[in-house]
Chain A
Amino acid sequence: MPLAREESSPLFAGTAAGTLRLIFYLTMAMVLMVLDHRNGWLWRLRYTTAIVVEPVYRLASLPADGMHALGVAFADRRMLTEQNQRLREDLLLANAKLNRMAAVAQQNQRLKELLDTQHSLELHVQLARVIGVDLGAYRYRMMINLGSRDGVKVGQPVIDAHGVMGQVVDVLPTSASVMLVTDPDHAIPVMVERTGLRTVAYGSRNGEQLTLPTVPMAADVRVGDKLLTSGLGGRFPQGFPVGEIRSVNPAPTGMFLEAHALPSADLDRSDEVLLLHDLAEPAGPPPPPTPAGPPADQAPAPASSAAIPRVPLPAIPSSSAKPGATQTGVPQT
């Protein structure tokens, strides 16, 4: 007499009900994905469930913090002394530089006042700590421990001691997510320090480098050139170091040069970062001066209406790839 097999787990044939259930759940998951891709639900949901999500993040960052604390606790005295010595030298050097810069800054300020521009060399910053959480997918984002309760807004630039790190893309009540400059979806307007050439630096696929795919063929760009933020687009203030050119080759299309640069900020190692508060200019280049020509009744009619449309260069994550992330309240010009 054959053994009666249990019906609940058949050895070979599955039940139709199970397959139907699978199809149902897969459809639900796909609907969720499409809706999220269109509307950016994920961060809204995260914001509403922040009371659960944020403690979990803090909990998950405990091991990393613990390792850090252990590293400090077990570092021997000699190493600490050396580090202290080095930091002191750095401080001395920085102070000396600052003292010399103070005079130059003042002069610059005066000249700029003469020129009637509004760039300021002062920084309004807020110190933030990085929360060691793996945000999954590719590692081009990080969490910091300040959020909307501390006045953090989407779009604020984040820097460290060496250069630009990225910008805030999503905000929770007491934490925020920062998109690094090496994210493939990120673009930042830059300027070559030596020649003043302006171009745009994108993140790259491997997340280690910056790519400058549209350098003109005739442009003078060399390995070792420093990149600064150009201030165009109004998202990043002018003059912060972004990276250093590591290679320049003709692009595959043959129409441009393609340069690769190493970001100057310590993207992997930073524990503490600075959030910039003064957003350069709210909307790109300053408004064009009102045309001061001959009186309107004497001027030819079509010429005055041919004002150049201003197109602010977007320093925001490219909206084609991540519409959800940018629609959640980026102040579009």
Chain B
Amino acid sequence: MSRQRVSFWWFVGTLVFALLLMLVPLPHVLEPFKPYWPALVLLYWALESGDQRITLGLAFVLGVCADLLNGVLLGEQALRLCVLAFIALRFRSRLRFFPMWQQTLAILALLLNDRFLLLIVRAFAGEATPSALWWASPFVSALLWPFLFLLLDDLRMRLRIQ
């Protein structure tokens, strides 16, 4: 009972922490390289516990929260996170057993797809196309993925939660 509760709060805590990390500003030079934290944490949980925890509805709610905190359009990140969660859940059984470098490549592809989606949404909203450096963020996120995955996994093991 108590263990379940701890694991639930750990799950919620990581998501909230990801939202906070998204808001924390970086120095101006590093700004375009900032990883998309909510997507990374969402992907981790989607691969780790599958649709017991991550459902499309949850991705949608997380996206709306993220939009509320930092966003241009309400529903933009909800759309992106829904698509991410859907693809991750659909290919979960394969992604989970990939070696780490393949998994990283898959994550990179997912995040690039996410950027394309964002670009399309922006184009429809009538905003200017971003500079070339804007595409650096998925690569940084993918580089960080192995470390994030191992860190979260390790913490999960230590706290003995599922």
Residue A21 is within 8 A (CB to CB) of chain B in the complex:
yes
Q: Mark B41-72, 1 if CB is under 8 A from A, else 0.
A: 00000000011000011011001100111111
Residue B107 is within 8 A (CB to CB) of chain A in the complex:
no
Q: Are A53 and B69 in contact (CB under 8 A)?
A: yes
Q: Are B68 and A53 in contact (CB under 8 A)?
A: yes
Tell me the complex Cα distance, A41–B129, Å: 24
List residues of B (62-93) whose CB comes within 8 Å of A's CBs: 63-64, 67-76, 78-79, 82-83, 86, 89-90, 92-93
Residue B130 is within 8 A (CB to CB) of chain A in the complex:
yes
Residues of A within 8 A of B79 (CB): 26, 29-30, 33
Tell me the complex Cα distance, A41–B76, Å: 13
Residues of A within 8 A of B63 (CB): 29
List residues of B (104-156) whose CB comes within 8 Å of A's CBs: 121, 125-131
Residues of A within 8 A of B76 (CB): 29, 33
Tell me the complex Cα distance, A63–B23, Å: 10
Q: Are B90 and A29 in contact (CB under 8 A)?
A: no
Question: What is the distance, in angstroms, from A319's C-beta to the closest C-beta of chain B?
Answer: 11
Q: Are B24 and A42 in contact (CB under 8 A)?
A: no
Q: Size of chain B's interface in residues, with CB distance under 8 A?
A: 46
CB-contact partner of B127 in A28, A36, A56, A321, under 8 A? A321
Residues of A within 8 A of B60 (CB): 25, 28-29
The chain A residue with its CB closest to the CB of B127 is A321
- Tell me how many residue pairs across A and B have CB atoms closer than 8 Å: 122
Q: Mark A118-133, 1 if CB is under 8 A from B, else 0.
A: 0000000000000011
Residue B25 is within 8 A (CB to CB) of chain A in the complex:
yes
Question: What is the distance, in angstroms, from A50's C-beta to the closest C-beta of chain B?
Answer: 10
Among the stretches A8-16, A192-200, A289-297, A302-310, the one at the interface with B is A8-16
CB-contact partner of A137 in B19, B20, B56, B72, under 8 A? B72
The chain A residue with its CB closest to the CB of B75 is A32
Residue A256 is within 8 A (CB to CB) of chain B in the complex:
no
Q: Are A32 and B78 in contact (CB under 8 A)?
A: yes
Residues of B within 8 A of A277 (CB): none
Tell me the complex Cα distance, A287–B134, Å: 47
CB-contact partner of A320 in B22, B69, B75, B126, under 8 A? B126
Residue A222 is within 8 A (CB to CB) of chain B in the complex:
no
Residue B3 is within 8 A (CB to CB) of chain A in the complex:
no
Residue B100 is within 8 A (CB to CB) of chain A in the complex:
no
Q: What are 25 A-B pairs with beta-carbon distances under 8 A? A: A9-B89, A11-B94, A18-B89, A28-B75, A29-B78, A30-B75, A32-B73, A32-B78, A33-B74, A33-B76, A33-B79, A33-B121, A41-B74, A45-B68, A56-B69, A60-B20, A63-B24, A64-B24, A64-B25, A134-B70, A135-B70, A136-B71, A139-B28, A268-B28, A321-B127
Beyond contacts A26-B79, A57-B23, A60-B23: 12 other A-B pairs, Cβ-Cβ < 8 A, are A26-B83, A28-B75, A29-B75, A29-B82, A32-B78, A33-B76, A36-B75, A42-B71, A46-B68, A59-B20, A61-B25, A134-B26
Q: Which residues of A contact B (CB under 8 A)?
A: 8-11, 14, 18, 21-22, 25-26, 28-33, 35-37, 41-42, 45-46, 49, 53, 56-57, 59-61, 63-64, 132-139, 184, 205-206, 268, 320-321
Q: Which residues of B contact A (CB under 8 A)?
A: 19-20, 22-26, 28, 31, 34, 50-51, 56-57, 59-60, 63-64, 67-76, 78-79, 82-83, 86, 89-90, 92-94, 121, 125-131
